[in-house]
Amino acid sequence: MLSGVIAPGVELINAKSKKKDRIAHLYSMTGKETEEIKSAKAGDIIVIPKLTETHTGDTLSHSGSIEIAPLPFPRPLYPVAIEASNPKDEDKLGDLLAKVAEIDPCVTLHREEQTHQTILTTLGEGAVDLILSRIKERNNIIAKLLEVKVPYRETIRKRAEAQGRHKKQTGGAGQFGDCWVRIEPNPGGGYEFLDQVVGGKIPKGLIPAVDKGIREAMLEGFLTEDLFVDVKAAVYDGSYHPVDSNEMAFKQAGRLAFRACCEKADPYLLEPMANLEVTVTEEYAGTIMGDFSTRRGRVAGMSTDESGRTVIKARVPYKEVVTYARDLRSMTRGVGSYTVEIDGYEEVPGDVAKKLIADYQTRREEANK
């Protein structure tokens, strides 16, 4: 409390939302023990349970016209992938984690659509352990942690063209789709699709199906099932059957044509890059810079802050710094701090790419057994 006196039964107004919250009970805390109190005055640190319209950082007052700037909180930088041990509990676990993130400004939660993982980001391992233990104790839900998957991407170096032909004959009507597709690099331009068919070789109404098939194939990737980006595709020739050709057939033909093109277009992997700014005492500066070289990183600059600490800026593959919060604590005995921002993608070095592709092939073979 900053000023005045409050007691149970008082109605206060949230300065941000202008909504009212009634105070039912007041508690003071000593460690884990709580004691209900009849009133509180300026300077007291108290607990008010069951506030429905108030969140961390909000200001409550009688008039609702007073708003205090929220306290600064450290930015969460330690991500973990999390899922329920029992698949039936997955939705409930997500709801519980969302509530934790809503209450605690040092916790974030998001779904990484490309890797299909739920990512919980906190200040460190201790915070993760505390959250999971509370969920287990209070809700009887057991969660497990997984390695955070890095969202790689794929693209091409060369122009290539190929045919996609889908023909299927069953007892009734068959399926027939035939298209020629050309793809080429489109750096920074995302995906573009062009209709260059002339002479009605493919009916105009079936051209969008080719586009859809290519888009679906790009979502699946070619080398490691990672998202394909920055490709310009054009359908320029083909044929159709007046009875058996339909959207489904030409969508499949588009998929086949795209994959056939990829085999000739020299596909390669891209990895997300991170910009790091690490602040340490001078004695650890050499250790940090040496560590960056082992992570395939490059130092971008050094400076000294107002307190005389060394600030090191570096650009490092994000894969190499997913657990950097833990690693930095170990290297600096807990006195180092850092910020990280994912900024763009760069080509994966050949030796690293070969290992990623080999690991993917191994996982795929094991899954098909």
Domains of the chain: 5-61 (2.40.30.10), 78-146 (3.30.70.870), 154-265 (3.30.230.10), 270-347 (3.30.70.240)
DSSP state at residue 63: S
Q: What is the pLDDT of residues 307-316, one digit of tens each?
A: 999 999 999 9
Signed CA dihedral, 42, 46, 49, 51: sign only: positive
Q: What is the mean pLDDT of the chain?
A: 93
Average pLDDT over residues 332-352: 93
State the pLDDT at residue 350.
94
Q: CB-based burial of residue 259 (10 Å sphere; 0-12 exposed, 13-18 middle, 19+ buried)?
A: middle
State the pLDDT at residue 16.
86
Separation of alpha carbons 338 and 331, rounded Å: 13
User: Does residue 137 carry a pLDDT above 70?
Assistant: yes
State the pLDDT at residue 1.
67
Q: What is the pLDDT of residues 15-52, one digit of tens each?
A: 888 888 888 899 998 887 889 999 988 888 889 888 88
User: Does residue 369 carry a pLDDT above 80?
Assistant: no
Is the entire prediction scored with pTM above 0.85?
A: no
Separation of alpha carbons 359 and 314, rounded Å: 28
Phi/psi for 40 (5° steps) reads -145, 150
User: Does residue 172 carry a pLDDT above 80?
Assistant: no
Neighbouring C-beta atoms of residue 73, cutoff 10 Å: 12
DSSP state at residue 319: G
Q: What is the pLDDT of residues 113-129, one digit of tens each?
A: 999 999 999 998 999 99
171 pLDDT tier (thresholds 50, 70, 90): low
